Amino acid sequence: MNTRKPIAAALALAGYIIMLVPILFVVATAFTSGSTLRFPPEGFSLGWFDAALNYAPFTSALLTSLQLAVASTFLALAVGVPATLAIYRGALPGKGLVEGLFLSPLIIPELVVGLALYQQLIVTFRIENWPVLLLGHTALLLPYAVRVTGAALASSDVSLEEAARGLGASPLRAFFTITLPILRPGIFSAALLGFVTSFNNVPLSLLLQSRESRTLPITMLDYVQQSYDPMIAATSTLILAATVVIAVIAERTVGFAKIFGGINR
């Protein structure tokens, strides 16, 4: 057993190096005073951050990505949480089949989903791109809403809800006083995972976007194909910093153990 620990530690260290070193290169390049992406950076400057924050296509696409991520996360939770309650607490026939349908977007390639939505809704029924894009992202996030909140609900003690009902609490009061606090870490976790997944999505957004609904990852991808300056590194560093801030807030408010602890149960 003792001989395995150094090997495991070495593998873990190698994994961290493989993941973190490329990110550090990007961050370092973002502070260069040069005009091209190269390492080591040429001098030190914050000019590329100013350029990224004032580049209209990036700021417009950022607003679109935020709106899309918030709306799709809300819709996914609005559908997924009641579905989770029906699967784990209700007398729903064919629970396994229903849960499998909600989890199916995890195994179906996003390009297939995007192409199907594009052909049926945009081409056939002439629906605008934005509602279809929102529908696609919502469908993509449903597995997180059902699986994560379901893990929190499955690990709870159903006798607590039964005791509340036995003491005279109405179903609605029992839900808000017992079930909802139990689900809160799962809902927070699903919202966090869903928001990040929607914000960073490329395949689905690439197929369903329009000129007015271009997301930030797609806009950054187009920019890299046309330009090779450090502004893309500065934008990536800003996104990374925002992600770290979100992670710190999540840890301080709920805690990662509560957020992600029930996912693998």
Provide the pLDDT for residue 134: 96
For residue 264, pLDDT beyond 70: no
State the Cα–Cα distance between residues 24 and 14, nearest whole angstrom: 15
State the Cα–Cα distance between residues 45 and 39, nearest whole angstrom: 14
CA distance to 56, 104, 207, 217, per residue, from 213 (Å): 14, 26, 11, 12
- The pLDDT-based confidence of 262 (bands split at 50, 70, 90) is very low
Domain ranges across the chain: 56-260
Provide the pLDDT for residue 265: 46
DSSP state of 179: I
For residue 147, pLDDT beyond 70: yes
C-alpha of 218 from chain center:
16
State the Cα–Cα distance between residues 182 and 216, nearest whole angstrom: 35
Provide the pLDDT for residue 9: 85
Per-residue pLDDT tens for 48-102?
A: 999 999 999 999 999 999 999 999 999 999 999 999 888 887 777 788 888 888 8
Percent with pLDDT over 90 in the chain: 42
Provide the pLDDT for residue 120: 92
Q: Domain 56-260 has what CATH class?
A: mainly alpha
Q: Which pTM value belongs to this model?
A: 0.87
Alpha helices (H) in 37-176, listed in sequence order: 47-53, 56-88, 95-103, 110-117, 129-154, 158-166, 171-174
